[in-house]
């Protein structure tokens, strides 16, 4: 009775307590879990003590557990389930960026804790009463749906029932997948080098145990993160979702939205908002495995210049290395002095250079980096003696692996990168093979060691995905040194690439003193706070051209906005039409890089003839023209977590037609891209949400709204549409005449060109846009106030129109930047009079849209343009 009065006393606070009677029948569920032995209510926390009712299937059950339901702020609830008696591996301290609110708040949610046996809890959205998460094993009719909580050393299980079956779920990466998850499928989360398989839905390089659930009837979305680094399966069935996790703790975060965008803003407030990328990293990148010599690499750059194709960054794959050893170059093929001079010559043209670095350090005799690693002590250790480096096999043969949890491993890494920077002044680093990928699968001797008695991490009782965990990676029994002491690789495998990314970012910032540009294959939740990603080894197929769209959209939802797929396709051979289509789509990826495998036929934009080259140049120009808009979107990614590219349902969340659309996407909230993804197709079937749309290029008003349309798209055309209500800042490069001195077009030049504002009028005759400017490379420009944020607004009474700017912040000297022209889509006739800052002008015309040109309006000052 004591407990009941306690419940009543807290009833009036944020949480609501539910004490239901449950139809517990003996066999349902098979594992009822825990009962509640104590309960405490604090202002922003509920603490529930649990004791084991029924052991789970694999033994080593935790007898006493404790649940902390923490009301972090109005939109975020955190539920942690811990062992009451023993410390277990958990990652929250490493990754949690969120400072809980100290202010009182009115939650968007309430929680219900089922206090009678067995324990369960529910999370309810207050505004509409919908139950977002409910771990009760039985449904309202008493049918048994799943087990209660199972919490044992090497196996944890928790399920939730859906309020209505087959919800719209998104997330649970990384994998090659359609955007909307299947409603009857087991998703494995475990980092793996799945390079050549490209099998849809299986686990690949990164781990993002986060999903969004969208109720398209109300348009309300919520998100759930299970912050846990162990291998896991997430079983989705029509009525339920079950986590099956191999260790750690349950650390769940609930994000209340209610819009999809708000869910991502809240999610990134926990795992970290994306870093601000360098401006140049948004330019055009060319790479391939197979630029075998420095001369090959230089020839590609020369060809780009010869054909007048913008090139921002040239990359080398593992070809440059001496026997594939990190931090070396082949003395014949890439002589160090010529190599360094070549990179200097790129810099003289404002071009950039990146190359690959793998974590595996060759154990070849006399290799300095290996000796440095061993003497640092910062390597992953073998379980056999707990001291020797664990040895795997990667490109250079036998390798040891730095332990990036170990501060000595981090220092080792920084020193090696510094040494290499002294040879080649690279601008960014491409980190690959960091799942960890190992050609040997556990050990290199094909010994199949018998499972050790008791718990053997190489043979855990439950194996997510059903494939031995050491497949293509190192032993799970390997040992890493963390701030919490020695931890089995078993627990932190999914964090290897993340820890390497964090260490690499720190090193580059120390070495270069500027923003780092790091493209990594492996990621974990929150990776985008530190570094960026490409989607890995795809194939030169139309299928993978399509998969790149859900790929970039999901990574943007995961808070990793600077992302792209290998343009042209990596494995297999590309061809002219496929490359043309991929150049068109790929130049809308936030990160645009053409990359190819060793044996593939060349696929640089100039190799398939003039038509494909022209299409490629137009595509790159489109990206460069939109750079001010991209960069502004990145600013809002960095400060608010907003995805740069978004699924249509983000903006039209109660339009049922949008929930599964993943062949089109939005850039920001107003530019819709509908690429051709089918061989030989010259039309696209595209959905137009209920709104006003203009053709982005011609300004033509579209007649489609809330319906599909068949759009003409011959090879040189990618359909792009602009939603009404926007003011898009652009810097067109189309008409830019290359200077005679042979200096190639780069983002350095592009960002000095005159601006063109593209205005799209909506029915209310209103439009709005923003422009973020800074020097594009210094650290923390926003945080330190060295930026300008300009707002553009168009208002009208439908007779007179006023377009004006407000300078929100003016910490960046933009006096060298001018607005040269303005296009107004949706204007219906030629104005009789246009006045710029009080002066009448005559340089305007009407042809489908209003074009005002020959302007020279400094961006560093506010302006007003009126017409009627
Ligand atoms: C919880 O379960 C244990 C073990 O069955 C039992 O001893 C205890 O009385 C139960 N407590 C409550 C509050 O039901
Ligand atoms: C779910 O998938 C399983 C295994 O593929 C299958 O046996 C089952 O019938 C499916 N259930 C539904 C409701 O589709
Ligand atoms: C440069 O372009 C020419 C013409 O397409 C081609 O023959 C040559 O192989 C190219 N070189 C490189 C390194 O791409
Ligand atoms: C590298 O590791 C392999 C496998 O453990 C071993 O056989 C070899 O002797 C090592 N090489 C050196 C130079 O230590
Ligand atoms: C792999 O695991 C076994 C069993 O724990 C251990 O003896 C062995 O040394 C480990 N390392 C390698 C590289 O095989
Ligand atoms: C490619 O573009 C150039 C320059 O605009 C033009 O002269 C040429 O005719 C175009 N070639 C093709 C095949 O479209
Ligand atoms: C649009 O076309 C797609 C693909 O053909 C189809 O699945 C969808 O139902 C259509 N949507 C509408 C609103 O007609
Ligand atoms: C296995 C693999 O990495 N597949 C990738 C290749 O194709 C698409 C994009 O083109 C990626 O999203 C896949 O993950």
| 829 pocket-lining for ligand 2 (C-beta < 6 Å) | no
Nearest atom in ligand 8 to 551's CA: 12
| Residue 790 belongs to domain with CATH number | 2.60.40.1180
Question: How wide is the angle at C-alpha 670 spanned by C-alphas 668 and 671, nearest 5°?
Answer: 85
Alpha-carbon gap, residue 679 to 178, rounded angstroms = 19
Q: Which ligand is nearest to the CA of 116?
A: 1
Nearest atom in ligand 3 to 607's CA: 5
pLDDT of residue 102: 78
β-pairing verdict for 240-245 and 532-534: unpaired
pLDDT band at residue 735, thresholds of 50, 70 and 90? confident
Supply φ then ψ for residue 51, to 5 degrees: -130, 145
Whether 419 is in a domain gets the answer yes
Among 14-28, 229-243, 396-410, the range scoring the smallest mean pLDDT is 14-28
| 764 pocket-lining for ligand 2 (C-beta < 6 Å) | no
Is pLDDT above 50 for 12? no
Nearest atom in ligand 5 to 382's CA: 11
| 438 pocket-lining for ligand 5 (C-beta < 6 Å) | no
Identify the H or E element spanning 672: strand 671-673
Residue at which a domain ends, from 161, 186, 221: 161
Three-state SS for 835?
strand
Per-residue pLDDT reduced to its tens digit, 39-74: 999 988 999 999 999 899 999 999 999 999 999 999
Supply φ then ψ for residue 9, to 5 degrees: -65, -25
Residue nearest atom 1 of ligand 6, based on CA coordinates: 614
| Most informative mutation of 287, 307, 607, 614 for ligand 3 (most atoms within 8 A of CB) | 607
Positive or negative, the Cα torsion across 642, 648, 651, 657? negative
| 710 pocket-lining for ligand 7 (C-beta < 6 Å) | no
Percent of the chain with pLDDT over 90: 88
Helices and strands, counts by H and E, the chain: 15, 49
β-pairing verdict for 839-841 and 352-357: unpaired
Range of the domain at 400: 279-534
Distance 411 CA to ligand 7 centre (A): 55
| Most informative mutation of 687, 691, 707 for ligand 7 (most atoms within 8 A of CB) | 687
Whether 294 is in a domain gets the answer yes
String of b and e for 672-696 (b: at least 16 CB within 10 Å)? bbbbbbeeeeeebebbbbebbbbbb
Is 4 exposed, middle or buried (CB count within 10 Å of its CB: 0-12, 13-18, 19+)? exposed
Residue nearest atom 9 of ligand 8, based on CA coordinates: 548
Distance 363 CA to ligand 4 centre (A): 6
Alpha-carbon gap, residue 637 to 659, rounded angstroms = 23
| 165 pocket-lining for ligand 2 (C-beta < 6 Å) | no
Structure tokens given for 202: 């299986």
Distance 862 CA to ligand 4 centre (A): 67
Higher pLDDT pick, 83 / 101: 83
Is pLDDT above 90 for 651? yes
Cis amide prior to 311 (ω within 30 degrees): no
Nearest atom in ligand 7 to 707's CA: 13
| Residue 499 belongs to domain with CATH number | 3.20.20.80
How many of the other CB atoms lie within 10 Å of CB of 142?
11
pLDDT of residue 196: 61
Distance 548 CA to ligand 8 centre (A): 7
Asked if residues 479 and 472 have their Cβ atoms less than 8 Å apart, the reply is: no
pLDDT of residue 5: 26
Distance 232 CA to ligand 8 centre (A): 21
pLDDT of residue 20: 40
Asked if residues 429 and 504 have their Cβ atoms less than 8 Å apart, the reply is: yes
- Ligand 6 pocket by C-beta < 6 Å: which residues? 610-611, 614
Alpha-carbon gap, residue 442 to 529, rounded angstroms = 31
Whether 375 is in a domain gets the answer yes
pLDDT of residue 43: 87
Residue nearest atom 10 of ligand 1, based on CA coordinates: 35
pLDDT band at residue 19, thresholds of 50, 70 and 90? very low
Is pLDDT above 90 for 206? yes
Distance 413 CA to ligand 4 centre (A): 21
Whether 598 is in a domain gets the answer no
Per-residue pLDDT reduced to its tens digit, 794-842: 999 989 999 999 999 999 999 999 999 999 999 999 999 999 999 999 9
| 667 pocket-lining for ligand 5 (C-beta < 6 Å) | no
Nearest atom in ligand 6 to 613's CA: 1
Per-residue pLDDT reduced to its tens digit, 146-179: 999 999 999 999 999 999 999 999 999 999 999 9
Structure tokens given for 647: 């699924």
Q: Which ligand is nearest to the CA of 606?
A: 3
Alpha-carbon gap, residue 530 to 343, rounded angstroms = 25
pLDDT, average across residues 477-481:
97
Distance 825 CA to ligand 7 centre (A): 28
Asked if residues 761 and 826 have their Cβ atoms less than 8 Å apart, the reply is: yes
pLDDT of residue 17: 44
Write the DSSP string, 558-594. Answer: TT--SEEPEET-SBS---HHHHHHHHHHHTTSSSEEE
CA nearest to 390, candidates 520, 489, 506, 467: 489
Whether 290 is in a domain gets the answer yes
pLDDT of residue 15: 41
Alpha-carbon gap, residue 456 to 216, rounded angstroms = 45
Whether 847 is in a domain gets the answer yes
Nearest atom in ligand 3 to 303's CA: 1
Which residues are bridge partners to 417 per DSSP?
none
Per-residue pLDDT reduced to its tens digit, 576-594: 999 999 999 999 999 999 9
Is pLDDT above 70 for 467? yes
Alpha-carbon gap, residue 355 to 319, rounded angstroms = 10
Catalytic residues: 432, 435
Helix ranges restricted to H, 87-181 = 92-95
Alpha-carbon gap, residue 564 to 562, rounded angstroms = 7
pLDDT band at residue 197, thresholds of 50, 70 and 90? low
| 443 pocket-lining for ligand 5 (C-beta < 6 Å) | yes
Residues 291 and 145 reside in one and the same domain? no
Is pLDDT above 90 for 616? yes
Whether 218 is in a domain gets the answer no
Tokens 């869910």 locate to 263
Q: Which ligand is nearest to the CA of 235?
A: 2
| Residue 143 belongs to domain with CATH number | 2.60.40.1760
Residue nearest atom 7 of ligand 4, based on CA coordinates: 398
Residue nearest atom 1 of ligand 8, based on CA coordinates: 198
pLDDT band at residue 776, thresholds of 50, 70 and 90? very high
Helix ranges restricted to H, 587-701 = 610-625, 627-640
Asked if residues 315 and 342 have their Cβ atoms less than 8 Å apart, the reply is: no
Supply φ then ψ for residue 494, to 5 degrees: -65, -10
Tokens 């991502």 locate to 264
Residues 293 and 439 reside in one and the same domain? yes
Residue nearest atom 14 of ligand 8, based on CA coordinates: 176
Distance 183 CA to ligand 2 centre (A): 9
Residue at which a domain ends, from 512, 534, 556: 534
Structure tokens given for 629: 């808009």
Tokens 């060349």 locate to 602
Helix ranges restricted to H, 435-541 = 489-492, 496-512
pLDDT of residue 100: 77
Identify the H or E element spanning 709: strand 707-712
Asked if residues 130 and 221 have their Cβ atoms less than 8 Å apart, the reply is: no
Alpha-carbon gap, residue 192 to 174, rounded angstroms = 9
Asked if residues 716 and 593 have their Cβ atoms less than 8 Å apart, the reply is: no
Q: Which residues contact 417 (CB under 8 A, 6 or more apart)?
A: 327, 357, 429, 504, 507, 508, 511
| Most informative mutation of 195, 435, 546, 548 for ligand 8 (most atoms within 8 A of CB) | 548
Residues 303 and 443 reside in one and the same domain? yes
Distance of CA 557 to CAs 201, 421, 569, Å? 17, 34, 23
pLDDT, average across residues 129-151:
94
Average pLDDT, the chain: 94
Asked if residues 316 and 293 have their Cβ atoms less than 8 Å apart, the reply is: no
pLDDT, average across residues 719-732:
98
pLDDT, average across residues 521-534:
98
Residue nearest atom 6 of ligand 4, based on CA coordinates: 398
E runs forming strands in 383-437? 392-394, 397-400, 428-431
Whether 681 is in a domain gets the answer no
Residues 155 and 295 reside in one and the same domain? no
Residue at which a domain ends, from 534, 558, 591: 534
Nearest atom in ligand 3 to 291's CA: 13
Among 100-109, 381-390, 492-501, 513-522, the range scoring the smallest mean pLDDT is 100-109
Write the DSSP string, 3-59. Answer: HHHHHHHHTTSSS--B------BTTBSS---EEEEEEEEETTEEEEEEEESS--TTS
Q: Which ligand is nearest to the CA of 476?
A: 5
Q: Which residues contact 738 (CB under 8 A, 6 or more apart)?
A: 308, 744, 745
Question: Structurally, how many domains does the chain consist of?
Answer: 3
């Amino acid at each position: 009775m004591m407990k009941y009065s306690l419940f009543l006393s807290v009833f009036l606070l944020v949480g609501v307590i539910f004490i239901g009677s449950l139809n517990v029948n003996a066999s349902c569920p098979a594992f009822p879990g825990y009962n509640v032995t104590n309960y405490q209510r604090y202002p922003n926390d509920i603490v529930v003590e649990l004791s084991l009712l029924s052991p789970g299937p694999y033994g080593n059950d935790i007898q006493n557990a404790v649940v902390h339901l923490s009301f972090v702020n109005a939109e975020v609830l955190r539920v942690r389930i811990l062992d009451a008696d023993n410390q277990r591996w958990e990652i929250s301290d490493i990754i949690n960026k969120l400072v809980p609110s100290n202010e009182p708040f009115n939650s968007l949610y309430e929680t219900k804790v089922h206090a009678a046996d067995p324990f369960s809890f529910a999370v309810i959205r207050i505004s509409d009463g919908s139950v977002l998460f409910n771990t009760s094993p039985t449904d309202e009719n008493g049918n048994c749906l799943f087990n209660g909580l199972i919490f044992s050393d090497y196996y944890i299980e928790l399920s939730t029932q859906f309020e209505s079956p087959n919800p719209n779920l998104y997330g649970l990466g990384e994998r090659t997948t359609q955007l909307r998850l299947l409603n009857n499928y087991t998703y494995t989360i475990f980092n793996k080098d799945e390079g050549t398989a490209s099998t849809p839905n299986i686990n690949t390089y990164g781990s993002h145990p986060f999903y969004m659930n969208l109720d398209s009837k109300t348009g309300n979305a919520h998100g759930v993160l299970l912050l846990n680094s162990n291998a896991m399966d997430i079983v989705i069935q029509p009525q339920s979702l079950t986590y099956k996790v191999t260790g750690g703790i349950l650390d769940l975060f609930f994000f209340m939205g209610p819009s999809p965008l708000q869910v991502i803003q809240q999610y990134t407030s926990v795992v970290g908002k994306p870093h601000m990328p360098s401006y140049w990293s948004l330019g055009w990148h060319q790479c391939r495995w197979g630029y075998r010599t420095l001369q090959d690499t230089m020839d590609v750059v020369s060809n780009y210049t010869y054909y007048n194709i913008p090139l921002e960054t040239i990359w080398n794959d593992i070809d440059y290395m001496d026997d594939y050893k990190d931090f070396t170059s082949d003395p014949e093929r890439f002589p160090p002095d010529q190599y360094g001079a070549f990179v200097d010559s790129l810099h003289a043209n404002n071009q950039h250079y990146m190359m690959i670095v793998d974590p595996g350090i060759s154990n070849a005799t006399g290799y300095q980096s290996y000796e440095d690693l061993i003497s640092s002590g910062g390597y992953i250790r073998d379980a056999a003696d707990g001291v020797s480096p664990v040895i795997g096999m990667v490109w250079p043969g036998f390798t040891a692996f730095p332990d990036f949890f170990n501060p000595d491993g981090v220092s080792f890494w920084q020193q090696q990168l510094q040494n290499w920077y002294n040879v080649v002044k690279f601008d960014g680093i491409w980190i690959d093979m960091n799942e960890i990928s190992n050609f040997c699968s556990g050990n290199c001797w094909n010994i199949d060691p018998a499972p050790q008695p008791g718990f053997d991490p190489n043979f855990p009782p439950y194996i997510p995905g059903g494939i031995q965990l050491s497949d293509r990676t190192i032993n799970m029994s390997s040992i890493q040194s963390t701030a919490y002491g020695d931890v089995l690789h078993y627990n932190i495998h999914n964090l290897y690439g993340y820890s390497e990314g964090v260490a690499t970012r720190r090193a580059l910032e120390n070495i270069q003193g500027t923003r780092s540009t790091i493209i990594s294959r492996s990621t974990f939740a929150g990776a985008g706070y530190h570094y960026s990603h490409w989607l890995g080894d795809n194939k030169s197929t139309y299928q993978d051209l399509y998969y790149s769209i859900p790929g970039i959209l999901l990574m943007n939802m995961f808070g990793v906005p600077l992302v792209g797929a290998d343009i042209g396709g990596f494995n297999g051979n590309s061809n002219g039409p496929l490359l043309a289509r991929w150049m068109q789509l790929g130049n809308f990826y936030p990160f645009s890089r053409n990359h190819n495998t060793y044996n593939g036929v060349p696929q640089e934009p100039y190799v398939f003839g003039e038509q494909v080259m022209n299409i490629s140049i137009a595509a790159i120009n489109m990206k460069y023209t939109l750079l001010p808009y991209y960069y502004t979107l990145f600013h809002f990614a960095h400060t608010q977590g907003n995805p740069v590219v978004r699924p249509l349902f983000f903006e039209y969340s109660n339009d049922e037609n949008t929930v599964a659309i993943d062949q089109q996407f939005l850039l920001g909230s107003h530019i819709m891209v509908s690429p051709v993804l089918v061989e030989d197709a010259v039309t696209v079937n595209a959905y137009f949400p209920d709104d006003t749309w203009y053709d982005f290029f011609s300004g033509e008003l579209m007649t489609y709204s809330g319906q599909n349309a068949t759009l003409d798209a011959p090879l040189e055309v990618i359909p792009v549409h602009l939603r009404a209500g926007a003011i898009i800042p652009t810097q067109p490069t189309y008409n830019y005449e290359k200077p005679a001195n042979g200096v190639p077009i780069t983002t350095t030049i592009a960002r000095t060109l005159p601006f063109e504002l593209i205005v799209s009028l909506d029915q209310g005759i209103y439009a709005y846009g923003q422009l973020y400017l800074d020097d594009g490379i210094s650290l923390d420009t926003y945080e330190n106030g060295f930026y300008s944020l300009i707002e553009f607004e168009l208002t009208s009474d439908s007779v007179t129109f006023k377009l004006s700017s407000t300078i929100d912040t003016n910490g960046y000297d933009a006096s060298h930047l001018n607005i040269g022209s303005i296009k107004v889509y949706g204007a219906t006739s030629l104005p009789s009079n246009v006045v710029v800052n009080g002066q009448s002008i005559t340089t305007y015309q009407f042809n489908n849209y209003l074009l005002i040109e020959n302007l020279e309006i400094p961006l560093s000052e506010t302006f007003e343009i009126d017409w009627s």
